[in-house]
Amino acid sequence: MDVKLTTPLTKEKVEGLKPGDNVYITGTIYAARDAAHKKLMERLDEGGPLPFDPKGAIIYYVGPTPTREGEVIGSAGPTTSVRMDAYTPRLLDLGLLGMVGKGKRGPEVKKKMVETGAVYFAAIGGAGALIKKTILAQETIAYEELGPEAIRKLEVKDFPVTVIIDSRGEDLYEQGRAAYLSWKDKEEEK
């Protein structure tokens, strides 16, 4: 099913999403990778405020390539999400409701997603040049010294993602594997 979502997210907006749904996001999302996540945790440990409010937010795990003259942003393909797993539960507790990356998530993250009603989306790896066309504006808001891993505020329109893990913990990767194994077993019985 195709779904259009506008940020910020709410539990009501994401509760009907299911693994495999194609979602087109419009609004503000935040770009942050592992180095930025580590700095966010350090700031929380020090009792300081975060550079953005995670409540209802979406974080896109991306470190864009350099921006060419006349363009909004460089190629903006997703990075492997498991790199953020050590930091994600804490952000989910602060109200983060969406994450975009590629690859699987660990069991602790999935458990915390169910507790908090969050959703994990995948963007297509290798399609960064196409994805950047949905990014209308970008601004570095923290940790500029990290270069491409700095935290950026992105304004997007119809940013294309697929639901991988829904707010109930249903996982498209697990469903796909189970369907394949079932098919394979049936084929072997023939």
- Name the phi and psi angles at 76, rounded to 5: -130, 60
Token pair for residue 92? 């989910």
Q: Which candidate, 59, 56, 60, 58, places its Cα nearest to that of 12?
A: 56
Q: Give the Cα separation of 182 and 45 in Å (integer).
A: 47
Q: Is the peptide bond before 148 cis (omega within 30 degrees of 0)?
A: no
Token pair for residue 80? 């492997």
Q: Is 37 a catalytic residue?
A: yes
Among residues 14, 19, 37, 61, which one is catalytic?
Answer: 37
Token pair for residue 12? 């009501």
Q: Provide the annotated active-site residues.
A: 37
